[in-house]
Amino acid sequence: MDDLNAVRAQEYAKVYEELLAAAARLDMLRRLEGGSIDAHATAAMHGLRFAATILWPTVPNTPPPGYRQDSERLLQLAANWREAALELGEFVPPHPALQLVCPSEPDGECPTGKGR
C-alpha cells in the first residue's frame, strides 16, 4: 500500500508540474502584438491554473502555485475567457446591418425602401 501511495504522489507531482509549465507557456503565448490578449490561450491558461490549484493539496512537500490560488476566482476567470474565446454572451459580435436592395433598379436601391 505504501508503494501505491508513493507512486501516486510522484505522478501527482509530475502532473502538477506539467500543468504549471503548460499554464506558463500559455501565459506567454496569450499576449499578442499591439497589447491585445488572445482569448483562447487565456481561457486555457486559467483552466490549467484551476486544475493545478485543485491538484496542489495532493502533492506532498510542494509550494503553492505562483499565482493567487482561489479556486472559485480561477473558475470564474476561465468561464469569462471561455465566453470571450467562443464569442458567447456579452462577447457575441454585432450582426452586420441588413440593407434592402432591388435587383431591378440600376443602383440596387429600392425607391420605396421595400426590398424583396
Span 9-61, pLDDT tens digits = 899 999 999 999 999 999 998 888 777 888 899 999 999 999 999 999 989 88
- The Cα–Cα gap between 7 and 22 comes to 22
Within 13 Å and on the Cβ side, how many CA atoms surround 21? Answer: 6
Q: Is 35 left (phi over 0), alpha (psi -120 to 50) or beta?
A: left
State the pLDDT at residue 109: 66
Q: What is the pTM of this model?
A: 0.69
Q: Is the pLDDT of residue 116 over 60?
A: no
